[in-house]
Amino acid sequence: MRELIAQIDLNGIVNNFLTIKSFVQKRNPTCQIIAIVKADAYGHGAVEVARALESCNVYALGVAFFEEAVVLRHAGIKSKIIVLFDREVDGLFKYSLVPVIFDLKQAEVLSKEAYRRGVILPVHIKFETGMGRLGIYDNPFETIKKIAEMKNLKIEGVMTHLSKAEDKEWTQEQLKKFEAIKKFFHEIRLNKIRLNKTRLNKIRLNPIFHVSNSQGLAYDNALFDAVRPGLILYGYGFLDNLVPCMSVKTRLLD
């Protein structure tokens, strides 16, 4: 019988993280990294990868689902964890997680629960600027106003996903829509756009903006305040000096 062993190079992951960070920070010195560790860190072991990234002071980790975040917290991971695609409510508070909001209903539920608990919940809002994925698509400006007026939410981040990052023109169209959303937040902060509730704390409305997955790193105007590399972190992408971090070995048993 043959056994397959996947060997993971954690130093390689650290190397790739630092490579990505220096690449983006050369273009935008304040750009942070939200390292995507969903799907067991693309099969590399989420806990071990998260530990390695935490030791590099990663800005945040990104997982797809709530349960993935729980595994990391139980393993002692303290970093900020952003949950990309989940409607979990209670557990967010219990484990100090940051949800991504993709519709108004979800925002309402979270706002109510945060209010009930007497805490401010940081959230990221996802807008759909391409096609077909999860995210706020219709009336983005109205939706922003509504969420901004909700109690006990702090809009910590605003994001979109590049649906065809290999297509330059398409990507620029998406970025244009995203820029308009960013501008709208700016105008709220400048009081050019008035919210109904004036008691609103402006500090709660100073989000970071983030767009790029691995492929999106190729566009200088897609870097914003943070980037969300997944695949490239594990060594697969267009940057020089990346280290592929998984090697599969087979042991011959006689």
Ligand X SMILES: *Cc1c(COP(=O)(O)O)cnc(C)c1O
Pick between residue 21 and residue 38 the one whose CB is nearest to ligand X. Answer: 38
Residue nearest to ligand X (CB): 230
- Closest contact distance (angstroms) between CB of 135 and ligand X is 9
Q: What is the C-alpha to C-alpha distance for residues 74 and 86, in angstroms, rounded to an integer?
A: 19
Applying CB under 6 A, the residues found at the interface with ligand X are 36, 38, 84, 161, 213-214, 228-232
CA 134 from centre of chain: 14
The answer to whether residues 207 and 224 touch, using CB atoms and an 8 Å cutoff, is no
Closer CB to ligand X, residue 122 or residue 135?
135
Amino acid letter, 213: N
For ligand X, give the closer residue by CB, 84 or 110. 84
User: Shortest approach of ligand X to residue 161 CB, angstroms?
Assistant: 5
Taking the complex as a whole, the smallest distance from the CB of residue 233 to ligand X amounts, in Å, to 8
Task: Pick between residue 86 and residue 107 the one whose CB is nearest to ligand X.
Answer: 86
Concatenated DSSP letters of the chain: -EEEEEEE-HHHHHHHHHHHHHHHHHH-TT-EEEEE-HHHHHHT-HHHHHHHHHTTT-SEEEESSHHHHHHHHHTT--S-EEE-S----HHHHHTT-EEEE-SHHHHHHHHHHHHHHT-PEEEEEEB--SSSSSSB-S-HHHHHHHHHTSTTEEEEEEE---TTTT-HHHHHHHHHHHHHHHHHHHHHHTTSS--S-TT--GGGG--EEE---TGGGG-GGG-SSEE--SGGGGT-SSSTT----EEEEEEEP-
**For ligand X, which is the closer residue by CB, 188 or 223?**
223
* Least spacing, CB of residue 24 vs ligand X, in Å: 13
CB closer to ligand X out of 52 and 61: 61
Q: Least distance in Å: CB of 240 to ligand X? A: 17
CB of 220 to ligand X, least distance (A): 17
In whole angstroms, what is the distance from residue 156 CA to residue 44 CA? 29
CB of 149 to ligand X, least distance (A): 26
Of the pair 38, 44, the CB lying nearest ligand X is at 38
